[in-house]
A and B are shown apart, each in its own frame.
Chain A
Amino acid sequence: MNLSWWCSGISDTNWNWNPIFYPGIWILIAIVSFSYFQSVDKNNRKNKKTLYFIAGIILFWIFTDWPIGPIGAGYLLYVHVLQYLVYTFIAAPLIIISLPDKIYKKICNSKIKFLLQNSFLPFFIINFSLIITHIPYTADILKNSQIGTMIIDFIWMSSALLFWLWIDPQFNKNNFIPYPLRIFYIFALSILPAIPGAFFVFNKYPIYATYEFAVPISSLSPLADQEIAGLIMWAGSTPILLAWLGIIFYIWQKSEEKSNQEMID
């Protein structure tokens, strides 16, 4: 008999703290890490860039694998929002600034460079991915299956990598996006998450069926969970983006000083 009408008392949707092994995540991380270390010269493996990469990939792994991954995918909306923030604003930029010269050269010789140089498409894509993955209709459909959840993670991570590559000063050596504009885009990136955030906070009802009908794993009601998610979405991205703004601003100042010095010389 359908679960809509009968409860047999035994359900595979109940949350428990027995770890679950997701081989796909481990394989992905192994491939990415192997490719990264293959591209780095043996002499340069103990520098800051390697540390950035390790930090980025570990964050990605922690927020994708058990328990955070499945909790965010099907039980608590605020965990899902935390995943989004960590992927988009911390893990992705850390991975981008860790890229070795070899990979930069490869990107510069590929078609991606043309895409990044001649349009503001990365900014559009990262915001579009935020919207499309938070519309209740698509989110509920995708979060119904493991593949759907994987698609959401992939969309978030790839759009974030593209955006930060576009902003990255190392990639932008030719200065085709002026520094003020880069700062403006990073600032603008903090605006859009406030929209779903406001919907989460001010809605009288749970927006997503996935979380409304999730088996409770804490004392939080679906609406309280949604309100916390909204507050995180609203205010969570701002301090992280401010930190990145500071970094870009510092690099800009350094590059200006350098070019002034060159002109004097």
Chain B
Amino acid sequence: MMLCNKASIISKQIKSFLLIISLSLTITSGLISCNNNSQNFGKIEQKNHNLQGRLLQKPLIKNNVELFDSKGNIFSLEQDTRNHLTLIALGYTSCPDICPLHMSVLAGAYSNLPIDMQRKTKVIFISTDPERDNKKITNWAQSFNKDFIGLTGTPENLIKFQNELNIPPAVLEKNEDNNSNYAVSHATWITVFTDDNIAHFIYPIGITQREWVQDLKLLNNNEWKIKK
């Protein structure tokens, strides 16, 4: 009698166990795979296009402001990125949070692009702190991905460059004691030029790697659309 009771308990519990395991498997796989885009940063309002970025009312064109890399090589956005999908981020290498975060997300997305798309895409990080970064900006950018381009410029050219892209110029938050440990306030969005050399979109921080990959594929294939 005792044995029968035990056997019946075991049988019931095993049945229930199997039921729960199968339910759990279904719920876990379903929910985990469906929620990869679930984050709240940088939501875009009133989207009338199929991208995560924000549509510029007045598209921007590439400029010819002179910038340079750590070796002193001159770089022109207009000439050196012609007909390439070009992503431009601003910041500085001592930035404790946003800049490395941005570059880390872009590096993750870039490495998930097919090779032919990587060849057609240029990721450029421009330091707004030339005094501290002019010798290390290229290495810093390439520490995220060897294909990334790190640039800076003279203070005047950097202001001109930012103005050309409708970006409020960065501000060096230097103290009166001229301490070299200062922060730089700067725009965090990424300006994206398509292969027609025109920027139609800017991207705030908070776009996930998965979303970047989706958008970069659409942008590379010219499959992005604006609803009228």
Q: B-contacting residues of A (Cβ < 8 Å)?
A: 2-11, 13-14, 120, 123-124, 127-128, 131, 134-137, 140, 144, 176-178, 180-181, 184-185, 188, 191-192, 195-196, 199, 203-207, 209, 212-216, 221-223
Which B residues are CB-close (under 8 A) to A185? 17
Q: Would A120 and B16 be within 8 Å (CB), given that A3-B205, A199-B32 are in contact? A: yes
Given the complex of chains A and B, what is the CA–CA distance between A215 and B100 in angstroms? 8
- Whether B209 and A206, one on each chain, are in contact in the complex, defined by CB atoms closer than 8 angstroms, is yes
Q: Which residue in A128, A135, A212 is a CB contact (below 8 Å) of B35?
A: A135
Given the complex of chains A and B, what is the CA–CA distance between A199 and B35 in angstroms? 12
Q: Identify which of B36-44, B64-72, B158-166 touches chain A.
A: B36-44
B218 close to A (CB within 8 Å):
no
Q: Which of B14, B27, B97, B188 is the most central at the interface, judged by chain A CB atoms within 10 Å of its CB?
A: B97
Q: Would A209 and B21 be within 8 Å (CB), given that A131-B28, A137-B35 are in contact? A: no
B185 close to A (CB within 8 Å):
yes
Q: Would A127 and B20 be within 8 Å (CB), given that A9-B173, A181-B10 are in contact? A: yes
Q: Identify which of B76-84, B105-113, B117-125, B148-156 touches chain A.
A: B105-113
B125-156: CB near A (< 8 Å → 1, else 0) gives 00000000000000000000000000000000
Q: Which residue in A3, A10, A13, A221 is a CB contact (below 8 Å) of B183?
A: A10
Given the complex of chains A and B, what is the CA–CA distance between A215 and B33 in angstroms? 25
Given the complex of chains A and B, what is the CA–CA distance between A251 and B91 in angstroms? 62
Q: Would A3 and B98 be within 8 Å (CB), given that A9-B184, A178-B9 are in contact? A: yes
Which B residues are CB-close (under 8 A) to A134? 28, 32
Q: Would A205 and B10 be within 8 Å (CB), given that A7-B185, A7-B186, A192-B24 are in contact? A: no
Given the complex of chains A and B, what is the CA–CA distance between A127 and B91 in angstroms? 44
Which B residues are CB-close (under 8 A) to A8? 183, 185
Q: Which residue in A7, A176, A196 is a CB contact (below 8 Å) of B97?
A: A7
